Amino acid sequence: MRPFDEAVAWHDVECGGYDADLSLWRELAAARPGPVLELGAGAGRVALDLAAGGHEVTALDSDPDLVAVCSARARARGLRVDAVCADARSFALGRRFSLVLAPMQVVQLLQESGREAMLSRVLAHLEPSGLFAPALADPFAGLPAADSLPPLPDTGVHDGWALASTPVAVREEELSRGERAVAIDRLRRAVSPTGETVESAATVRLSVFPATELAASAVAHGFRRLSDRSVPDTEAYVGSTVLMLEASRRP
């Protein structure tokens, strides 16, 4: 038994260091004053940053361990974050928000039916003219997955253990109804303070589809598509397209 929370530790290593999108979320939150909801908030990378800027933030994630650590980190910093354990496809919070965010390809963890359910739930929680901003990316746009070289490992330290997560394979897959997905296989290596090494494997699957497809579904649900925004590439991460979807009517 490793003396650290693996869900939290690996999430921090693989996602916690990403900051290329933070300026955009700050800009959107400033332009739409009011409560903010983040879908797939994880350990609070975005939620804590926005709360530190004075925004009232609800952080939603389906992993109870990540929700617990997000809440604990908010309390430790004296920040106003309501961390909620719920599914993006079925959440019911009993309140509305001026802005709903879905950073880092959270939407692409869902298949088509799940994305449709998510759009309904988001619309039900947006104030009139509220904004939904989901980020989308094709990790290997223009390249066959098999020809894409994996980046350097993501690294970090947690409770004295040295952690490294290395993408070792990238595979294209076909999901139900012919939907395309990219599977990213990772090798996770943890080295204890005494030199013990423990390795494990993990796979992340992202649905890959045109932004126009999600935008069309959103319009059918009652959103209005505004001009897209973008997050630039970095050395370690691909860039993303961020749809700007305004609630044009209430469900």
Q: What is the CATH number of the domain that holds 108?
A: 3.40.50.150
Q: Based on the domain organization, do 108 and 191 belong to the same domain?
A: no
Q: Which residues of the chain have pLDDT under 70?
A: 1-3, 139-151, 175-178, 249-251
* Domain containing residue 242: 6-139+209-247
Q: Based on the domain organization, do 65 and 130 belong to the same domain?
A: yes
Q: Based on the domain organization, do 202 and 213 belong to the same domain?
A: no
Q: Based on the domain organization, do 29 and 73 belong to the same domain?
A: yes
Q: Indicate the number of domains in the chain.
A: 2
Q: Based on the domain organization, do 16 and 73 belong to the same domain?
A: yes
C-alpha Rg value of the chain to the nearest Å: 18
Q: Based on the domain organization, do 29 and 108 belong to the same domain?
A: yes
The answer to whether the pTM exceeds 0.85 is: yes
Q: The domain spanning residue 185 has which CATH number?
A: 2.20.25
- Asked if 151 and 186 count as a contact pair (C-beta separation under 8 A), the reply is no
Is residue 1 in some structural domain? Answer: no
The pLDDT assigned to 245 comes to: 98
Q: Based on the domain organization, do 134 and 241 belong to the same domain?
A: yes
Helical pair 211-221 and 112-125, crossing angle rounded to 10 deg: 50
The pLDDT assigned to 83 comes to: 98
The pLDDT assigned to 173 comes to: 79
The pLDDT assigned to 2 comes to: 59
Q: Based on the domain organization, do 45 and 68 belong to the same domain?
A: yes
The pLDDT assigned to 151 comes to: 63
Encoded amino acid at 113, one letter: S
Q: Based on the domain organization, do 187 and 87 belong to the same domain?
A: no
Q: Based on the domain organization, do 55 and 157 belong to the same domain?
A: no
The pLDDT assigned to 143 comes to: 46
- Asked if 121 and 113 count as a contact pair (C-beta separation under 8 A), the reply is no
The pLDDT assigned to 139 comes to: 64
Q: Based on the domain organization, do 154 and 223 belong to the same domain?
A: no
Is residue 203 in some structural domain? Answer: yes
Q: Based on the domain organization, do 25 and 119 belong to the same domain?
A: yes
The pLDDT assigned to 12 comes to: 93
